[in-house]
Structure 1
Amino acid sequence: MHESVKRATTCICEVPSHVFSGVGGQGGIPMGELRSATKPGPSPQRVRVDGWLDRYSFPLLRITLGLVIFGFGFLKYFSGISPAQDLVLHANRILTFGLVPDQVALPALATVECLLGLSLITGRGLRLLVYPLTAWAIAILSPLLLFPAELFSGPDHAPTLAGQYVLKDIILLAACFVVMARVRTNTRGL
């Protein structure tokens, strides 16, 4: 390197010239390392927020998903209270070919949902939960295939209230996928 360039570099950057002698493979610090060494790190607030999210986001998702599933299941124990009761019973008649009476299907589904919800809330039995949760998630979306005309009979095929109720289940399905993936790969933080 020419001597005047070395002096200019030292004056402008206040970095000794031997630091740059690594350019061209002659020792010193390579330019990429110099750049990364001078880049500022995340702020302490960012580190705290990232740490909090890393520690609590999954348990929060798991517990809130459990509360929602438990709540919807609990409502099904009381005839006429669940807004999805008619939809559930109609789907039951089609999916079971009418072999499971409504008086059995609704409490059975309520029990399954409450057990799934409690498992998610408490974090117990999660490895056993993976397959029943998958079946439940698919079942709650079955009305989209079974009754599209009823669910999207609003103006310009907009979803009805029942359609919106089923569409929100897509979010529950996505949350179930996150929980199932985490449970299958890692038990830390469950």
Structure 2
Amino acid sequence: MNNEDQGYSLLELMAVVLIIAIIALSTLPLLHEQMAAREIDIIARRFIAHAQFARAQAFQLGVPIRITPINGGLWEEGWAVKNVCNDRQPKSGCVERQWISQGDLGQVYFKGGGKQFIDPHTSKRGILFSAAGAAKTAQGGFVANRLILGHDRDSGLERQLILGSGGRWRICDPTKDPKACK
């Protein structure tokens, strides 16, 4: 047995490293897409959890609770869950309180489209849950609506957060089930 037959040549090792590098580079875009989809799903689930918390608080406390964009702006700035003081409640009996807020959304953003839970009477964004736990407009009508989430890294990636008339939320991926998202 020669010393020459005991190992791999530098050329063979370089070929293996090159093959591994090509495979890694070809899977990188898929990895980025999966990471972006995961980030959108996390924000979508967090929003729904906060909306369900707002609904539960409204029902439990017997007072209106709102999930609304921070500072009354756009959803992209984040959102907050707050109680609502109105004219029917004595000023001394109502203390505005914010329970939960979500600020920085990272590279996730709310796309245009959908009605974005804009009250047709007041033109304000947000979801008001009545003391009975129902999503209502300022005039008492039901708010069946949707928000559409996107990601900076992949403009074609989207998730829709849909609130049904029974108060049930669902997350819809239009690329996988376009009929369910309509």
TM-score normalised according to structure 2 size: 0.33
Q: Over alpha carbons, which structure has the higher Rg?
A: 1
Comparing both structures, which one devotes a greater share of its residues to strand? Answer: 2
Comparing both structures, which one devotes a greater share of its residues to helix? Answer: 1
